[in-house]
Chains A and B, each alone.
Chain A
Amino acid sequence: MSATHTIVNLPDQRTATIPKRNYLNNEDGLLSWLFTGDHKRIAILYLISITFFFFIGGAFAGLIRLELLTPQPDLVASDTYNKFFSMHGIIMVFLFLVPSVPATLGNFLIPIMVGAKDLAFPKVNLLSWYLYWIGGLFTMAALVLGGVDTGWTFTTPLSTHYLNTHVVTAATGVFIIGFSSIFTGLNFIVTIHRMRAPGMTWFRMPLFCWSNYAASILMVLGTPVLAITLVLVALERLVGIGVFDPTKGGDPLLFQHLFWFYSHPAVYIMILPGMGVISEVISTFSRKRVFGYTAVAFSSVAIALFGFFVWAHHMFIMGVSNYSALVFSLLTMLVAVPSAIKIFNWAFTLQKGSITFETPMLYAFGFLGLFTIGGMTGVFLGALGMDIHLTETYFIVAHFHFVMVGGMLMAFLAGIHFWWPKMTGRMYPESLSKLAAVTTFIGFNLTFLPQFILGYLGMPRRYHAYPPEFQVLNVLSTAGATVLGVGYMLPLLYLGWSLKYGAIAGNNPWQATGLEWQIQSPPLTENFIETPVVDHEAYDYEWLAHKTAQEVTTVG
């Protein structure tokens, strides 16, 4: 194997200018945004929307942690507390995590990465954003009218027979958001299959496309099951059809099967696109191709496939048969393997690289650490006997926050910082953003590590009050949440600031290899002036060095 050497120098940013014509100033006025078919503008619309919902969901998280500062149920009434965590879950899962990377970064980048002018169905793409908002408004309506207290899991028969809150309104909201997610997934699948530029073979695609492709399959195949389940919940509640009601011959466990058949793959919908971001970031800042490209690509697909067959591991203590307990535990162990492969491939991507530590890289390192913990604690929960003690406690809360927040949110922030120059044409302030990355990492660990201990002690999740001996750990967790809150407010402020005052980025500030970095920033509405012809693999830094050298010769 011939190892070749690559030197990539950062371009001079002082001479860079914002291009006169780009997708941001191509058309003016609010309507040009609201009726746009441009995938980049829709991505920006999504980015604003999910940020809005993230901070609403985050506010509920803050209220939850504030209440749990003391063992007594003293800040709010129990019903109110139950509404807090329900709204936190519903908003964060359906309105933030599921659309986070695919609908913003995916929307913006996938067409450019494969060398297309837009997604396959631009109008369907816009429709999906409107559906997202209609669903979001239903959810907000449920909140404003008095809230919903089912938890994000809508467990029957509690949700169908016992609660007097706005369950149907919230379920309608989630039902509609589901279609937004299906349309996004459909668009990605068709685009990746049909609209790749000449020469862009499957194995020349950036890994970000692979992981979004895998997530799209999950969205298209899984979300309809959630839709059906929610329709059944609404029918059961409104007309009492008795699908889940044991007194009418229904089966309450059926709901669990249907719900988790979507909601476990949904976890992979949330994490896979984040893994794609990490591949791009780590490769770029080590100036080195991703170690074992094929393994990383196929492990995404393997996670998507296995992900459909592990749902009953949420039901080990509910009395599933011994055989299904064994099968689902075994499959859960198998789904952990591709994640482990990815972690080591990323680590070895660093080897023999030429590494710098810009903000996206710091977030990516944070991801590696937190996702390793999140993934390993998933193995705790997949082990049958261990799950009995740990499930439904704070251990599981900490576990999925490590994966979803420590994993996905870190990846999302890595991606936002990484592609911010491409999306806006301007740089974010480097030292402030490094501070934010470190703050987030510290705050996150302080918030959620104590929750593992609380979980092993047996503190149940969704508890408004708790025995006093758990207080110290809860105080630590709340203190961490405060730090974490600061960590999340910072990017909102300085990224907003950078829109006007940030340094001008230039086309390729990181000297990255993706097609998106070879065009102007911000890009033209039509992305490419002429259809690119791809003659190199993804992460080919020699090709990039050669290309840069050529440019210099031409200009000089």
Chain B
Amino acid sequence: MHISPVLWQFLVKWLNASALFPREASTIAPYADALYFFLLLITVVGLVLVGVLVFGFSIRYRKEKHPVAVQVEGSTLLEATWTIIPLALFLIVFVWGALLYFRIYNPPTNAMNIYVVGKQWMWKAEHPGGQHEINALHVPTGRPVQLTMISQDVFHSFSIPDFRVKREVIPGRYSTVWFQATTPGTYHIFCTQYCGTNHSAMIGEVTVLSPDDYDKWTQESTSGMSLAQNGERLFASMGCNACHSGSAAARGPNLAGVYGSKLQLASGSQVLVNDAYLRDAILNPSQHITAGYAPIMPTYQGQISEDGLIDLVEYIKAMQTNYRVQQTLTTSQSNQTAPTTPGTVKP
């Protein structure tokens, strides 16, 4: 029988193009794979052991060879053996797995931050420098990258298999994941949490560039406005600056340098000001009153999109002085009270 050469070629190409093992494209991947191979090893050993026991006994004690069963009650020694050895192995796996978990989820302090917003059915990546991408993500090799992610609607999950990282993207709260890419190339991004009709179309590509290429890419693809600049505009247009002006008599707390500090709340508790806190304080101010201030801030729930919140958070994060806030404020006030000098004639 002959297989047609066309079909043969197709088959060969098809088999060659198929994948069997994911690429190792991040610094985490080798660590994850090491644990994976260890687990595979104990699985295979366990399976072979069970197989040898079952088949060995089956052959040796089959009825034709061993017509008379010998009743055995049990054996404490044997049973202790197969309690303690699996337990010990599983405890090793537990410790190893926990170490890997903290390696994957604790970002190094020098990681660059990129925001990701998930919504049905796309990923939006927002770089602090003002690059916006949809279903794509550009990152440099050799630098740790932290993703701060939030969902605008349902649960999603951000997964890059070739980096061995994944994190649920949850509505209403920031979650983070970090990685350091090692090899330039393009890799799949999948949404792995079922999120409705086009769940399987919520995919994208992460492009890993060498540091030089990455710099080139950042310059070429910026929208011209950084996230913080967008945030500054929002801060003024939503009237935040009216109370958070930084002056001594202001009705709202001073925001300059607040990021990263420990804040005393009116409820008596202390919180660390991070991205999540800033976002919550904008949406749910009555739950987050700074000690010494009146609970007068209205909620902004439903008035700002997640993108807008990211802009505001990024702005407040970067805010070191109130100079520009006050400048904006005076400009707007001077516009409102039209400067009329008595005795002069209006044009």
Contact = CB atoms under 8 A, between A and B. Distances in A.
Interface of A: 1, 3-8, 73, 78-79, 82, 149, 151, 153, 155, 157-158, 161-163, 246-247, 249, 252-253, 286-289, 291-295, 316-319, 322, 325-326, 329-330, 333-334, 336-337, 340-341, 343-345, 347-348, 350-357, 365, 368-369, 372-373, 376-377, 379-380, 382-389, 391-393, 453, 456-473, 541-542
Interface in B148-205: 153-155, 157, 159, 161-162, 164-168, 170-173, 175, 188, 190-201
B10 interface: no
B103 A386 contact: no
Contacts of B9: none
Contact of B35 (A291, A356, A368, A383): A383
B79 A377 contact: no
B158 to A, nearest CB: 10
Contact of A391 (B166, B195, B301): B166
A367 B240 CA distance: 65
B220 interface: no
Given A337-B90, A467-B188, A469-B19, A288 B199 contact: no
Nearest to B153: A162
Contact of B61 (A162, A247, A352, A384): A352
Contacts, number: 318
8 contacts: A78-B198, A79-B197, A246-B173, A252-B172, A286-B69, A354-B67, A369-B47, A389-B32
A356 B57 CA distance: 11
A295 B79 CA distance: 8
Given A289-B71, A330-B94, A462 B21 contact: no
B196 A333 contact: no
User: Which 4 residue pairs spanning A and B have beta carbons closest together?
Assistant: A458-B161, A385-B100, A383-B97, A246-B172
A392 B61 contact: no
Interface stretch (B38-46, B254-262, B322-330, B331-339): B38-46
Given A354-B63, A386-B97, A379 B39 contact: yes
B3 interface: no
A384 B68 contact: no
Contact of A293 (B74, B96, B284): B74
B159 A392 contact: yes
A157 B192 contact: no
Contacts of A355: 57-58, 61-63, 66
B62 A356 contact: yes
Contacts of B173: 246, 319
A387 B192 CA distance: 13
A386 B100 contact: yes
A291 B47 contact: no
A541 B69 contact: yes
A463 B199 contact: yes
A1 to B, nearest CB: 6
B36 interface: yes
A356 B170 contact: no
A383 B98 CA distance: 7
Interface in B88-144: 90-91, 93-94, 96-105, 120
A337 to B, nearest CB: 5
A456 B102 CA distance: 20
Q: How large is the interface on B (under 10, 10 to 19, 20 to 34, 35 or more residues)?
A: 35 or more
Contacts of B67: 7, 354
Give the secondary structure class of A's interface: helix
Given A317-B166, A348-B57, A466-B200, 19 more contacts: A6-B68, A73-B200, A78-B199, A155-B155, A158-B155, A158-B196, A162-B196, A292-B79, A344-B78, A347-B50, A350-B61, A377-B43, A383-B35, A385-B104, A387-B97, A389-B161, A393-B192, A461-B192, A463-B199
B100 A384 contact: yes
A5 to B, nearest CB: 5
A357 B58 CA distance: 9
Nearest to B35: A386
Nearest to B89: A379
Contact of B197 (A82, A157, A350, A388): A82
A465 B63 contact: no
A151 B164 contact: no
B50 A456 contact: no
B170 A252 contact: yes
B268 interface: no
A514 B58 CA distance: 23
A457 B32 CA distance: 13
Nearest to B17: A469
Contact of B57 (A318, A330, A351, A465): A351
A155 B155 CA distance: 8
A163 B196 contact: yes
Given A317-B166, A347-B57, A389-B164, A372 B46 contact: yes
A351 B52 CA distance: 12
Contacts of B71: 3-6, 288-289, 541-542
A152 B305 CA distance: 31
Contacts of A345: 74, 79
A162 B154 contact: yes
Contacts of A334: 87, 90
Contacts of B75: 291-292, 348
Nearest to A361: B58
Contacts of A329: 94, 97-98, 101
B53 interface: yes
Interface string B49-85: 0110110011001110011111111110011001100
B1 interface: no
A458 B19 CA distance: 11
B63 A333 contact: no
Contacts of B153: 157, 161-162
A157 B171 contact: yes
B230 to A, nearest CB: 23
Contact of B43 (A151, A158, A373): A373
B22 to A, nearest CB: 5
Contacts of A343: 50
Contacts of B15: 472
B224 interface: no
Contacts of B192: 391-393, 460-461
Q: Among the interface residues A246, A252, A288, A460, which one has the most CB atoms of the partner chain B within 10 A?
A: A460
Interface string B193-235: 1111111110000000000000000000000000000000000
A385 B103 contact: yes
B30 interface: no
Contacts of B90: 333-334, 336-337, 379
A352 B103 CA distance: 49
B169 to A, nearest CB: 10
B249 interface: no
A465 B62 CA distance: 49
A334 to B, nearest CB: 8
Contacts of A464: 199-200
B32 A5 contact: no
B86 interface: yes
B14 A318 contact: no
A457 B94 contact: no
A458 B82 contact: no
A445 to B, nearest CB: 12
A73 B193 CA distance: 18
Contacts of A376: 39, 42-43, 46-47
B345 interface: no
Contacts of A352: 61, 66, 69-70, 72
B69 A460 contact: no
Contact of A353 (B43, B69, B74, B155): B69
Contact of B22 (A379, A456, A463): A456
Contacts of B93: 333, 379, 382-383
A3 B70 contact: yes
A347 to B, nearest CB: 4
Contact of A368 (B50, B72, B168): B50
A43 to B, nearest CB: 30
